[in-house]
Structures are given as C-alpha cells and as structure tokens.
Structure 1
C-alpha cells in the first residue's frame, strides 16, 4: 500500500498552484492582467497577506510583473530567446524560488570548482568586468542584478562545459527575474550591496588563484546566505 505522509501547505502555496494551473490550461496567457488584490481576496476567500505572499512568490518565479499604476500582469518572455519555451515550461511546472535556488546550488557549486581549474585569461577578464560593475552598483544600487547575473554566467562559461552552459541558458530568464525581484528584499535584511559585492570578490579571487575547493565553498556559502534571507520573506 503506497501511502505518503500528509504535508501541511501554506495558503499562499495553494494560490500559486491555482495560478500555475490556469497558465498550464491556457486560461492565463502572457500579457493578461490579473484581478486586483481585493478581487482575489473575495474570490479565494483568503487574507490580503496570503495574496501578497503568493504574488511575491510568482513575481520571483518570473511568472508575473507588477506595473506601477497599472496592475499585475502575466509576464511576457522575450520572443527572441531561444530558451524561452523551456524557461516558460519550467515556470509553469513545479518551479519555486527555493527550488530554483536549489538548482543553482547543484549547478553553480561544481561550476565554480571547474572554473577554477579551467578558466582562461579571457574568462577572468569577463569576471573582473562584471565584478567592477557590481562595485559601481554599491554606490548607486541597481536592483536589476544584471552585473550579478553576468558574473555567475561567466563562471559557467569558464567551465568550458557546453551542456552546463545550456542548462544555465534554460534558467537564465528565471534567474534574472529572481535577481531583480529579490534584490529589494535582500537589501531590507542583512545583505547590502557591499556585502554582496565582497562575497563575489571572494569567489573571483578563489577562481583566479585556481583554488577549486575555496571557489566551491565560497559560492555555496553565498547561495545559502541568499536562500536563507529570501526564505524570511516568502
């Protein structure tokens, strides 16, 4: 008899699942506007706090975008993106913010190790350029996280592993959306632009020194710290 333990689910998770199911059935499409918070409260018979938690999670997953003064809309993926169909499929399946962070740990910890072993001078230059942009953002914080994403993607390229690069391509849209949305939340907690920058400096120095053990340790510590902080807000 195949019996499984009963798991207690939070209300916002049920809301997220309902929205994802509507997307999967084609009842919600990119560009569609979601009902207002008040309307969702009345329809779902839940608290406004639960609705906001669900919307925050959906935004981090890259499924929705909030337009100031207009409302909340299903997100349009870039039509020119080769990996858009896969990214969209991953979004509407069982991807959550914490699951995406778990995937990043699986991929990036070993990627940092390989990068330390295989990085060429041009890879180190690319990492240094992304790092310099991050340093400038400590003066004028940019919530988009573009330099952050460039840094992590440069690590993947330095591995010289084509399959790993393709896997990173498939989640790059979601990573960019998560970085954009999570930055504001991170800055409200223990993380500041300076701390994020210094953590990336540690990773870079380890890769530059060809210390694969330290490189993987530093990036794991960084991703765990981000995950712990985001869990406090979701």
Structure 2
C-alpha cells in the first residue's frame, strides 16, 4: 500500500508540473500576443532570441519555446530553421484568449492621455508601493537586469519595459485600475518605438526605472509616485518632440 501511495503521489506531482507548464505556456503566449496587440511588436518584426525573450519576460526558455510554438501554429508567428522568429500576422481575433486593448486610447489627444495617465498612475503606483510583495520586487529586479543587457535594442527594451510597468500596476491590488492604466501605457506605441531608438533614450529610461524600483523597495508611497511622475513627464515630452518634429518637416 505504501508503494501504491508513493506512486500515486509521484503521478499527482507529475500532473501538477505538466499543468503548470501548460498554464505558463498559455500565459506567455498571451504576453507575446499582448505585445503585438499593443504595437510593441509589429508585423514583420523579428522576435528577440529565445534566451533574450525569456530574460525579458522572466521565464524559462522552455516556456518561451512552447508559447512561440503555440502562436506559430495559429499563424501569428513564423518560425523558420536558422532564422529569427518573425511576427507573421497582427490579426489576433481567432485566438482562444483575450488579447485586445480594452480602450482605444489612440483616438484621444496626447494631452488628454497624459493627464489621465498622471492622475490614474498616482493612485495605482501609490497603492502598489504600499502593497507590493517581495516576489514582485524580485521580478522587477530581474527585469532591470534584462534591460541593462539591451541598451541598444529598442524592441527588446520595450518588451521588458512593458513587463516592468504591468507588474507594478498589478501590485496595486485593483485589477480594473491596472487594466485601465495598462491601456494608457500603450498610447502611440509606434512613436515610442522610434523615441527609444534615439541616443541615450534607453539609458535614461532605465535610470528612471531604477529610481522607481528603489522607491518601491522602500515602500515609500510619495517617492514612488514622484519617480513615476518624472518618468511619465519624460515620456510625454519626448513623444511631443517627435510629433512636433514630424509636423515641422517640409513636404517633398
């Protein structure tokens, strides 16, 4: 009987591990699809290598491999031997999980989105500073390490940047507010990609992230809100500068 019980326990543990792997694969597939839905990744883009993507998403390479395979079977990604995986389609309507942006923020003005983001983020980040757990703080630390390794790769940086922001938003404890501010984060992502390609843009953003992380580590609500405010103001200024530069370009 003891041997049977041990066998059943081992089998139960195996089933649990298999379920966890499948669940993680779906979760990472959702994250990659979310990167496409938000515009961080666009049709034709090459995905980072398996190791780099695993670091950016803070998961194992095996999990990334399974998620990429699932999205490839749905025609979202294109996997070819000896070549980087590419985004083959941005049409996510046939996927079994929800990946759409809840709010079409791009139809609003940059000033309206900026003011809304400042207002909502103050509440979200302040609550996150008071409620964040050690596991999330450790995740943020790993994401900062990953960002340090992609100072010359805007797409890789933005993948990790999105994970960094969403982890903080989720830590506030209010999933509705977290979803709203996540949607605001996606505003004009195509322009953000171009801004992050400018000299010193990534190191400056990384420095902002480190200040935010330090405030969260201290569970200092006021410092976290202030650090996030500086970061958001910088995003607003650089995006405005890019947009104004486009408007000032002479017609050809």
TM bucket, shorter chain: 0.5 to 0.7
The 2-side partners of 1:229 and 1:167 are apart by 22
- How far residue 83 of structure 1 moved from its aligned partner, in angstroms, is 5.4
The 1-side partners of 2:128 and 2:101 are apart by 28
- Is 1:224 aligned to residue 233 of structure 2? yes
1:108 to 107, 112, 121: 121
What does residue 50 of structure 1 align with? none
Q: What whole-Å deviation, never above 9, does each CA across 1:44-71 have from its counterpart, x for those lacking one? A: xxxxxxxxxxxxxxxxx95xx6869xxx
Change (3 A) 1:230 1:166: closer
1:152 to 162, 165, 171: 165
- Is 1:183 aligned to residue 193 of structure 2? yes
The 1-side partners of 2:138 and 2:205 are apart by 20
The 1-side partners of 2:101 and 2:233 are apart by 29
Write out the 4+ residue segments of structure 1 that deviate beyond 4 Å after TM superposition. Answer: 65-68, 169-172
- How far residue 108 of structure 1 moved from its aligned partner, in angstroms, is 2.0
Are the equivalent residues in 2 in contact too, given 1:77–1:84 (CA < 8 A)?
Answer: no
Root mean square deviation, CA, Å: 2.9
Gap regions ≥5 residues in structure 2: 1-37, 46-88, 244-252
Are the equivalent residues in 1 in contact too, given 2:126–2:224 (CA < 8 A)?
Answer: yes
Gap regions ≥5 residues in structure 1: 1-60, 69-74
Number of aligned residue pairs? 158
- Is 1:78 aligned to residue 87 of structure 2? no
- How far residue 169 of structure 1 moved from its aligned partner, in angstroms, is 5.1
- How far residue 111 of structure 1 moved from its aligned partner, in angstroms, is 1.7
- How far residue 208 of structure 1 moved from its aligned partner, in angstroms, is 0.6
What does residue 202 of structure 1 align with? 211
2:154 to 142, 148, 152: 142
The 1-side partners of 2:108 and 2:225 are apart by 24
- Give the alignment's TM-score, normalised by structure 2: 0.54
- How far residue 232 of structure 1 moved from its aligned partner, in angstroms, is 1.0
1:1-234 equivalent positions in 2, closer than 5 A: 76-79=90-93, 80=95, 82=98, 84=100, 86-87=102-103, 89-91=104-106, 94-138=107-151, 140-143=152-155, 145-168=158-181, 170-171=183-184, 174-175=186-187, 178=189, 181-188=191-198, 191-234=200-243
- Give the alignment's TM-score, normalised by structure 1: 0.57
What does residue 62 of structure 2 align with? none
Change (3 A) 1:233 1:171: closer
Are the equivalent residues in 2 in contact too, given 1:119–1:207 (CA < 8 A)?
Answer: yes
Change (3 A) 1:97 1:165: same
Change (3 A) 1:143 1:158: same
The 1-side partners of 2:116 and 2:149 are apart by 29
Are the equivalent residues in 2 in contact too, given 1:206–1:214 (CA < 8 A)?
Answer: yes
